[in-house]
Structure formats: structure tokens, C-alpha cells
Amino acid sequence: MNSTGASTYNCGNRVSWISVGFATPSYQEALPSCPQPATVTRSRLPFDAHPARSERQQLLNAYRDEVTLPHGDRGTYEWVQVPDQVRVAAFVSGGLLVIEQYHYLTGQMWQLPGGAVDPADGGSRTAAQRELAEETGYLAGRWSDKGSLYALPGLTPARVHLWSTIDPTPSDAAPEPAEADLEVRHITLDEALLAVRDGRLRCAASAALVMMLSLERRP
């Protein structure tokens, strides 16, 4: 444990800074572009950010690897390990379920239901089914695996797994407390494609899945 409270360890030619759901000074050394800790309270409605920042040990690992670069020189490569994610295209009565939500870092946006793959899920399909049920209340349906994407390949090897389901059954949603403002929209696939184009649907994995499904439905 270093003086900042972040755990560090050496692993061969790799140094890892563990923790950090929020930036600590040692983490900022690993990722210099990370914003500095807040000194005054600022507003990101509907969130308020406060000067104190806490750590979460399980959220991510940040690494600085010693590497030989393509041109032969030695250097370092900094990257982070975070949980894989899922996004779900759920079709109900021919329409697509889209959620509108305020994200602390990016603001208001549309996206497809989804979230992190938890260790207890055992796989991306279970995670997709869980996230769809939590956020929209819809269960089951006819599921199809649509592959996966590397959303930020220069920063993390984490993937976003893409799924679709047709005619899931309605039930009661159970969003997390941070999702209390979440709204579910029922739109056509054509409108979702338009939302990608005009910037309402700005989640990259959601946009990719919408465009993939639009291509599949072309004659």
C-alpha cells in the first residue's frame, strides 16, 4: 500500500496500480490524462460531485507495461482492465427498446439496455438477460448472439458483447439506485438508426448493434 492508499505491485516488467473507481494520485501517474481530483463541488445534474473521492478495489486495474515498440525501441504501454460489457437489442411487437439515461461523465443519452458482465453471471448472455430485466422489466424471448466489439482497443482489452432478443415477456423492472432517472422508449429500428445519425444515440456499441441489425433487415 503506498502513501496515497492505492495498492501497487510488480509483476515482471509490469507495474499495476490496483483500485481506482476514482482517480488517486498514483493512478494519475499511470494515466496522466485522468482529470485531477475536484477541489470544489461542481454540478453534473442529476449528480453532484464533491471534493472527496473514494476508491473501489474491484472496479479496474491500471497497468504500465515495459514493451519493445514496433520500430525496435523500448518504451512503456499504459492500459486498464475493466469488466466486459453487454448491449441488448430487444424487439417488442416489432419495435426496439431504447433507454434514455443521464450518465455522470457524458450527460443525457440514448442507448440500448446493458451494463457490466458481473463475475456471478458466468457469461455474457446471462449478463444481457439480467441487465435487460433490471432496466426494462422484459424477460426471456428468442435470443441471438451478435458477436462482440473492442470499444477502446488502445486502452483496454475489454469487449462489449452484443445480443438481440425478439418478443421478450414484460415484467417489473428493478433498476439500480443510480438509474432512477432511466426511461424506456419503444421506437422503430429506423428511428433508432436516425438517432445514431443525429447524435441522440451516442453509445458506440449500441450504435454498432443498431446499424448491424439495420443491414441484416435489408432485402
Q: What is the CATH number of the domain that holds 180?
A: 3.90.79.10
The reported pLDDT for the residue numbered 18 is 40
Residue 206 lies in a domain: yes
Cis omega (within 30 of 0) for bond into 70: no
Domain boundary among 81, 97, 115: 81
The reported pLDDT for the residue numbered 8 is 38
Backbone phi, psi, residue 50, to 5°: -115, 160
47 in the same domain as 33: yes
| pTM beyond 0.85, yes or no | no
pLDDT-derived band of residue 60, with 50, 70 and 90 as boundaries?
confident
Number of domains in the chain: 2
Q: Tell me which residue range forms the domain holding 56.
A: 7-81
Per-residue b or e along 43-74, where b marks 16 or more CB atoms closer than 10 Å to that residue's CB: eeeeeeeeeeeebeeebbbbbbeeeeeeeeee
Question: Percent of the chain beyond pLDDT 90?
Answer: 58
Selected residue with higher pLDDT from 19 and 14: 14
